[in-house]
Amino acid sequence: MSITSHQHVSRVVDFFENLSPDNLSDIPLIYADNAWFKDPFNEVRGVAEINRIFAHMFVQVDAPRFVVTSQTVENQSAFLTWNFQFKMKRFSSAGQSIHGASHLQFNDAGLVTYHRDYWDAAEELYEKLPLLGGLMRILKRAARN
């Protein structure tokens, strides 16, 4: 791991752990113009679309907060594990947490060109929703050996 790569990753971690509607304008300082982003709900390219996804997050949930729990850096790639804490606006006032991971790749300027999030939407989100959660748990039990 080079010092430069570690600095780029630290900058990204700091951005996500302090993400707010007020600092969404910093996204071009984190992502390359044509960066690719994918999570269980979205697949987009470009800073404007990535900004739209994070802006929409603040519309959908209250008090969203990322806590990065580990990071591995090699060359121009990083793998972060994190907890995403939030409160659902529509379904519950109780706090929720999603456990996930992000694979990031950086260009020579230290900007993210590739961001892929991995987390289980069924276990981490759908099973916690009223009505749908019961159905998801039944399906999960039926799929077990």
Instruction: Specify the pLDDT at position 64.
Output: 93
* pLDDT tens track for 21-79: 999 999 999 999 999 999 988 999 999 999 999 999 999 889 999 999 999 999 899 99
Range of the domain at 30: 3-119
Question: Which pLDDT value is given to residue 81?
Answer: 98
Is 48 within a domain?
A: yes
- Could you give the number of structural domains in the chain? 1
Q: What is the pLDDT of residue 1?
A: 45
Task: Strand 77-88: give its sheet, edge to edge.
Answer: 43-45, 31-38, 112-118, 95-106, 77-88, 61-74
Q: Is the pLDDT of residue 4 over 70?
A: no
Structural domain contains residue 137: no
Could you report the per-residue pLDDT of 67-125, keeping only the tens digit for each? 999 999 998 999 999 999 988 777 666 788 889 999 999 999 999 999 999 987 655 55
pLDDT confidence of residue 86: 86
| Residue 17 counted as domain residue | yes
pLDDT at site 132? 53
* Alpha carbons 130 and 101: distance in angstroms, whole number: 26
What CATH number is associated with residue 25? 3.10.450.50
Cβ contacts of residue 114 below 8 Å, gap of 6+? 35, 36, 103, 104, 105
Single pTM value for the model:
0.82
Query: How far does CA 89 lie from the centroid of its chain?
Result: 18
pLDDT value of position 134: 56
Structural domain contains residue 125: no
Sign (positive or negative) of CA dihedral 14, 18, 20, 23: negative
In the numeric block, which tokens belong to residue 54?
């994070």
Residue 22 lies in a domain: yes
**DSSP codes joined into one string, 27-92:** HHHHEEEEEEEE-SS-EEESHHHHHHHHHHHHHHEEEEEEEEEEEEEETTEEEEEEEEEEEETTT-
Q: Is residue 46 part of a domain?
A: yes
